[in-house]
Amino acid sequence: MTPFVQFLITANVVGFLIENLLGPLTFQWFALWPSPWTNLLAAPWTLVSYSFLHAGLTHLFFNMFALWMFGSDLERVWGAKRLALGYFLGVVTGAIAQVVFGEAFGGGGLPVVGASAGVFAVLLGYAIAFPNRTVMLLFPPIPMPARVFVLLYAALELTLGVTGTVSGVAHFAHLGGMLGGWIAYRYGASRSRWGR
């Protein structure tokens, strides 16, 4: 496991333990409350802090599993600083996307928690760095190239977000997270190293 991925997994596990010790107060203080949007003016730190909270052990496990699965290889190629940039940009752009579009499509009002936006940033970066690497779906178990997997996943998230088919999931945070990953890919590398 690479250093930054290890740091993120440790920080998320610690956040989960603290959240279970403090109970509902943690969500009240540190979750992202997208409606009304003025909540952000009173608590701007929630643009990041929400990503260290999770709605249960299963939620935490799948986010950390995906982070480990895709993040370690991406960190070896991008380096820790660029991966950190992409991850936290994904967290922030995911929060903003959920505040703006979640409310418009009926997903506002509920607190948003979880590292998913950052994980989606990593996922997009992985698909850019390793476009032809095979990714196996869990349900159903279908192998496909990483770039196809990410495009299908993004299309699914957009469809579910716009239609409101699956409630209780911050679909626009996931899509916004991908934007953060793209920004890190496009602008996060030094000119000398990447020739851009």
Which string of DSSP letters, residue by residue, matches 108-166? -SS-B-SSHHHHHHHHHHHHHHSTTSEEE-SSS--EEEHHHHHHHHHHHHHHHHHHT-S
Q: 6-10, 107-111, 112-116, 147-151: which range is least confident on average?
A: 107-111
59-63, 139-143, 164-168 — which one is most confidently predicted on average?
59-63
**Residue where the block lists tokens 């626009």:** 172
Range of the domain at 39: 3-194
Q: What is the pLDDT of residue 194?
A: 40
Q: What is the pTM of this model?
A: 0.89
CATH of residue 126: 1.20.1540.10
- Name the domain count of the chain: 1
Average of pLDDT values for 120-133? 95
